[in-house]
Amino acid sequence: MKLTSSVFLIAMLAFSSIVLAQTHMGVPPEDFVTLEAHCSVVDDIGNCTNINPLSRTYPDGSGGTVAFTIPEGKLLVVTDVDWDWGSDNEIDVARVGKQIGFKIYRKNLSNNSLSNIPFSSHAMVETDAVFCFKCDKPIIVSAGADTQMTSGFIVTSDARLEYYLSVGLMGSGTLHVVVRGYLLPDRR
């Protein structure tokens, strides 16, 4: 009886160490990836393009400033994309009620002409503050979307992610992008 209890206990400990090493998704916690970027709209046609690359952030609050590269032999499964844009420029107030577009490109590292758009999103520009000509309150407009994908999309170590936002002619403001997902072994 004692031997059976000991074997059972050892089996339970081994099972729990395997289970605890992975999350509810069957992925080890260290393979979860959060990428983040901030971008100020800087050109005359209101584009914000990969000026600050998507860099990895970590649970302790630290993060890099260089573009995230997918480790060799791994795939990145993107599951969530959040983006928000805001502006206090009076020119952008005219955009209230209009849509702006955000895209993520998957670009091949060795051949830039090989790219596609696995994610595209549009949002309506809204007013976040009282529109007041005689006040010295800022006039703030914003747009954005939080997308949780059922199937997501995959990026190999042969590619990188880039983002693009267009708010229109003479646009301004700031874009914040967060991309979440996890790494899996590349079995190609």
Q: What CATH number should be reported for the domain holding residue 118? A: 2.60.120
Q: Is residue 74 part of a domain?
A: yes
pTM, two decimal places: 0.79
Which residues, 6+ apart, have CB-to-CB distance to 67 below 8 Å?
53, 54, 55, 160
Q: Is residue 13 part of a domain?
A: no
pLDDT at 134 over 70: no
> 45-65 pLDDT, tens per residue?
667 755 688 999 988 889 888
How many C-beta atoms surround the C-beta of residue 128 within 10 A?
A: 12
Residues of the domain holding 57: 29-185
User: In the chain, how many domains are there?
Assistant: 1
Q: Is residue 11 part of a domain?
A: no
Q: Is residue 82 part of a domain?
A: yes
Could you say which DSSP state residue 149 is in? Answer: E
Q: Is residue 16 part of a domain?
A: no
Q: Is residue 110 part of a domain?
A: yes
Mean of pLDDT values over 28-34: 93
What one-character-per-residue DSSP string does 23-63 give? -TTS--GGGEEEEEEEEE--STT-EEESSS--EEE-TTS-B
Q: What is the dihedral of CA 126, 176, 80, 45, to 10 degrees?
A: 70
Q: Is residue 49 part of a domain?
A: yes
Cα three-residue angle 168-152-35, rounded to 5 degrees: 65
